Structure 1
Amino acid sequence: MLGITLAILLQVSAVGDQPAQYDDAFKTAMETGKPMLVLVGTDWCPACVTMKQSIMPRLKRAGRLSGVVYTEVDADAQPRIAQRIMSGGGYPQLALYRKTKDGWRRQILIGVQSESTIQTIVDRAVAAQEEEAGKLEVLPVSQ
């Protein structure tokens, strides 16, 4: 019985640390207005594995992705979604989408990225998103 309980707890904790599925992440970004960060890669790409298993989890554990909606897309399993997101060839690609008054703006980074580079683009996107949201606030009419 203890073995089954432990197995369930491990499975639940592993699932809780997984990135959101693309459709769920997209829906959340649309509803909340948060920037969306998408890692597109494959299982056979060493650079993608480094990003998926090392760099992105460290950022997530440190709370550095809390200002964005984060998800991953496997280009082999989800080729249509990957093609829509990617900018040309090469893996991995990190796409950051930010909502503006003129629609969604995309920034792409290709190849393995350092934690500091990712943190910089996330911080800039979150700050720009907050600034944009501030401009859209409805101010009360004075009497």
Structure 2
Amino acid sequence: MLHFLKIPFFILLISLSFPVSAEVWETSVETAFQKAKKEGKPIFIDVYADWCGYCKTLKKEIYPKKEVRKEMSKFVLLSLDGDRFPNLKKKYSVTGYPTLLFLDKNGSLTEKIAGMPDHKMVIRTLQSAYLKRDKEVVLLGELEKDPENNLLLLKIGEYYYEARDYKKSADFFYRSFASEDPRTPENRHKALFNLGLSFSELKNWEKTIKTFSLYLDKFPTGRAKAAYYYRGDAHKALGNKKEATEDLKKALELSTDPEEKKEIQDLLNQI
């Protein structure tokens, strides 16, 4: 009799020693985004630094709470050392740690927490972000009701640009630029500039040059420095050394940021 009583007691000890369902934190951006699309889940990114004490508190004291884990289970979890991902920091304006980013399944930002939150704030934000998990569907639904709204077309273009679907972003940026909607005409210059960025990401250098040339012609007082930079980079990719040099030198003259100037000079040195 005693022999049989030992078995369930031993099993009970094992079950108490390990969590029933520990969170799986991805450490690869590509893997996390693929998983999100496959499972149709939004993404929760914990951006930390090894030296950050609050980051450790989050992982040891906040995330393990039952009510927090319940909301986190609805997300693909991604943990990234921010110092190793400068592009991510720049894209989402991460200026300190911890920073918590909440994205929909296509990688578009829906919520953000900068600094150390308590568990209630984490829960509230997770719930809010989960409600916005179908941001694409919501935006397209609004567009059906108002198809010429150039502000909405611009927002959808920005959505697809964030999601790295540059073909779709180019389509919506062009539609926003071409729209005759009189309500927000100031969006036309944003749409045209972003159209150039989309073509640059697609490595369609000819269209990149044409778009930024049109931008500089129509909006000479706009973002000229960046327009010259991207057009110069496109000329460089096509082997147009003279045009690339001229554009990049203009971008260099207009720049006041030391890091930016160094980046432009590096491109010039490669020609």
Q: TM-score, normalised by structure 1?
A: 0.66
Distance 2:28 2:42 in 1: 13
Equivalent position SS for 2:95: coil
1:122 aligns with 2:122: no
Gaps of 5+ in 2: 1-13, 141-271
What do residues 58-109 of structure 1 show as CA deviations (whole Å, max 9, x unaligned)? 2587422111111210124x23464255424111100001258xx7234221
1:65 aligns with 2:72: yes
More helix by share: 2
Where does residue 81 of structure 2 map in the other structure?
A: 74
Give yes or no for contact 2:89–2:95 (8 Å, CA) kept in 1: no
| Alignment RMSD | 3.2
Distance 1:40 1:59, change over 3 A: farther
- Amino acid corresponding to residue 72 of structure 1 in structure 2: S
Distance 2:85 2:113 in 1: 19
- Amino acid corresponding to residue 66 of structure 1 in structure 2: S
Gaps of 5+ in 1: 1-8, 137-143
Deviation at 1:133, TM superposition (A): 5.7
Distance 1:32 1:89, change over 3 A: same
Deviation at 1:115, TM superposition (A): 1.2
Larger Rg: 2
Distance 1:42 1:60 in 2: 25
Where does residue 113 of structure 1 map in the other structure?
A: 117
Give yes or no for contact 1:40–1:82 (8 Å, CA) kept in 2: no
Distance 1:67 1:125 in 2: 10
1:20 aligns with 2:26: yes
What do residues 111-134 of structure 1 show as CA deviations (whole Å, max 9, x unaligned)? 111111111111122223268669
What do residues 30-82 of structure 1 show as CA deviations (whole Å, max 9, x unaligned)? 22331101011112111111112221232587422111111210124x23464
Distance 1:34 1:28 in 2: 8
Distance 1:120 1:84 in 2: 26
- Give the fraction of aligned pairs with identical amino acids, expressed as a percent: 25
Distance 1:92 1:55 in 2: 13
Distance 1:39 1:81, change over 3 A: farther
More strand by share: 1
Q: How many residues align?
A: 121
Where does residue 44 of structure 1 map in the other structure?
A: 51
